[in-house]
Structure 1
Amino acid sequence: MNAVKLLVLPVLASALVMTGCANRKPTTDSQAGQTPSGATTVNTQGLSEDAALNAQNLAGASAKGVTEANKAFLAKRVVHFDYDSSELSNDDYQTLQAHAQFLMANANSKVALTGHTDERGTREYNMALGERRAKAVESFLITSGVNAGQLEAVSYGKEMPVNPGHDENAWKENRRVEINYEAVPPLLK
């Protein structure tokens, strides 16, 4: 009798798993619809929480707050800094102002501001400098009217260089704050 149970249980378990998998239908274009406001909806049934959020974010790109005049500035997602400085340059004000206008027009948008440094200096010093840079961008956006809840300032210090070189050109590229949309990015098409 025990031998029969040992044979039947795996068969029943397999049948249950197969039945559960059969109920997960792939999303088709006809399942993605439009809300009354014209926004695209995405069927996220059967997706993990992270995958569902990513799918919604991609479908939720917004054209609200995007004008022909600010498209080029919204496409720019990096602000650079001088050596050992967290002061914003005059060249970056228009870029940051365009992102501020977009964020104010799109309350569901969320941005991570990641501060980076070049390789010179100690790890501790560079973590603090990266944070000051990220906070400088965050402060500008908040002062421009962006809700602080839409922003997160993070420092990576010298840990994530975009240019692995060891000269002034590489260091200049690595001294930056990246503007990373985590929810509802600008639709630039």
Structure 2
Amino acid sequence: MKARAILLCMASILILGLAAGCAKKRVESSAPSPAVAEQMQEQQDKEKLRLEEQERLRRERELQEEALAAEKLAEKEEKQAEFKTAMTELGNMIHFDFDSFEIKPEYRELLQSKAEILKTYDDVTMVIEGYCDERGTEEYNLALGERRARAAYEFLILLGVDPERMSIVSFGEENPLDPAHNETAWAKNRRAQFRLNYD
């Protein structure tokens, strides 16, 4: 028993000695020499300058892009205003005879002018709306309104306007310009109207 205790004691001392021998030694770091410190400072200053230059260039690019976007927007708005003025001066509608969808001779020049303007301003699309007076059934007037809108649509295509830039819709006797029930009001209400959309 004594021998066993002595062996255990010796084993413990041996293990502690080995553990102490494997412990890491603390290494004291010394400050860099003045020459190395100066070189490190120079590198840090260069990196700081490089990052500042990158940031300046990035901001400069951003400002240029913002200015270009603002310029394009102003050009687009000016172009749209010119287009709207030109189209408004020409008139926004054409009228038809009773129960007819034939384009009257007096409106052909107006449609030719509209076609030229549409070809000049290619970022504009147009909806042609067909209307009738209150006489006739609702179904008949919807069909007649569509034929009136289509007549203007096809006339503009013949003049060189891209059909993809136009669409038609019929409102029949809805939305009369003049709600009266007489020939003067009916003549106003038999029309095709042009609604513009800007991309």
TM-score, with length taken from structure 1: 0.63
Residue 136 in structure 1 maps to residue 136 in structure 2: no
Match of 1:93 among 98, 104, 108: 108
Matched, 1:148 2:163: yes
Partner of residue 178, structure 2? 163
Partner of residue 34, structure 1 = 71
Matched residues, number = 132
| In structure 1, distance between residues paired with 2:87 and 2:71 | 28
In structure 1, the residue corresponding to 2:194 is in which secondary structure?
A: strand
Deviation at 1:144, TM superposition (A): 0.3
**Pairwise CA RMSD of aligned residues?**
2.6
Q: Please state which structure has a larger fraction of its residues in helix.
A: 2
Q: What per-residue deviation string (whole Å, max 9, x for no partner) do you get for residues 97-134 of structure 1?
A: 11100111122110010000000000000000000000
Unaligned runs of 5+ in 2: 1-66
Tell me the secondary structure at the aligned position of residue 114 of structure 1. Answer: strand
Structure 1 position 146, deviation (Å): 0.2
| Higher normalized contact order (CA 8 Å, seq sep 6+, divided by chain length) | 1
Q: Deviations 1:19-47 (Å, cap 9, x if unpaired)?
A: xxxxxxxxxxx9x8213xxx516xxxxxx
Offset, 1:60:
5.1
Question: What is the TM-score when the length of structure 2 is the normalising length?
Answer: 0.60
Q: Percent identity among equivalent residues?
A: 35
Which letter does structure 1 place at the counterpart of 2:135? Answer: R
CA distance in 1, matches of 2:145, 2:92: 16
Unpaired runs of 5+ residues, structure 1, are 1-29, 42-55, 185-189
